[in-house]
Structure 1
Amino acid sequence: MKRISVKFGFYFFICAFLIESILFLLLYYSLVNARVQEEVKSLLARGNNHRDVLEKYFDNQTIFHVALMESEAEIKVVITSKTGEILAKSSDVDDAMRKHLYTKMPDINKNGSVAEDHWKTSNYICTISPIQIDNDIKGYVYMFLDTDSIKQIIQHLTYQFIFVGGITFIITVITMFLLSKFLTKPLIRMKKATETMSKGDLSVSLNM
């Protein structure tokens, strides 16, 4: 008798577990992707804001001021001339940043372009905003965000999903156990009644 309940509960649990796992993975990856895209858009918008200021006042004082604004921030900014000469920077330029500075992009949109958004494999997320005055490119605003900060956010999100997943797993096991007991009771009664009737006792009544 117990085997019916155990088998029913086991198969029910496997189905529920697979469905929950697929839904959790889809939700997890969509949240991670949304969070990363949010950081990229925020970085690009910040670079465009600096670019807008520089298009109005493209002088040494303003260039220095823009770099100074990011000197204490998590984000790094590098302002270059049209030829790639560094005019100002908010912090030291390392090799990973220099790689982006000296890599020419084929097309840079007026509204800015994302040069790097592979947070898993790159040291920085990078955006470029062109400084255009009278239809002439005067320079570029490079914005860099260390991917370690994004990895920390994703790690925190992963821990939350593991915790919620563990709680969901325990609740699912308990629910499946109780549900299998409840649903298999009529089957067990029917089996007992069938066995009794097979022995010639037709006075059996099924109270379901």
Structure 2
Amino acid sequence: MIETTAHPAPGQPSAPAGRKMDTVIRAAWQLFLDQGFSATSMEAVAKAAGVSKATLYAYFPSKEALFASLIVAECESLQHDLPMPKLSAGLSQALREFAKQYLHSFIDRKDVAFVRIIANESGRFPALARLFYESGPEATIRRLSQFLEEARAAKLLEFGDSTEAAKQFLSLVRGELPLLIVLGLNDLTDEIIEQEIEAGLKFFLKGCQPCA
């Protein structure tokens, strides 16, 4: 199990809040993005952050633990920027807004680069990949499935398993856009994003429309 500052092992101190730790996090982020996981050393992070190696290792016992903490922090930030849909906005509009925020999370080039690093290291460090999936994509699916359950309770939708319905919705509204972004094959415009969302939303609602 990889220890993180968000979930420290017994006896491990929690990361302190404050300017020094913020500097460490920013330095680590930049180095991982610029050089990749393998080429980044803890010594380089300490030097870039202006802290001693002893201080860095006191809070992050390994490079994997440091990277795991960055994964948790980034996924929590993304979830914060992806608010739960509200039925009061209307079913279609609530799903539409959720889809927009969800897709825009793929467009940020920093996030794309971060996912590439995790994918590149997944063979050597599968726990990092699992941590990212559980903290990011799986958390998004859980939150959306809760909303879909609310919509079903209000007799606005019909479907089988809410988790599978959430996966299907996200697949429909994103289409191939994330793949194109990761491969650098497409510069997305708001118009293209909206077209993809509307097509996916229409197909999803048609399949889940309750019988009259």
TM-score in terms of structure 2 length: 0.21
Higher helix share: 2
Larger radius of gyration: 1
TM-score in terms of structure 1 length: 0.22
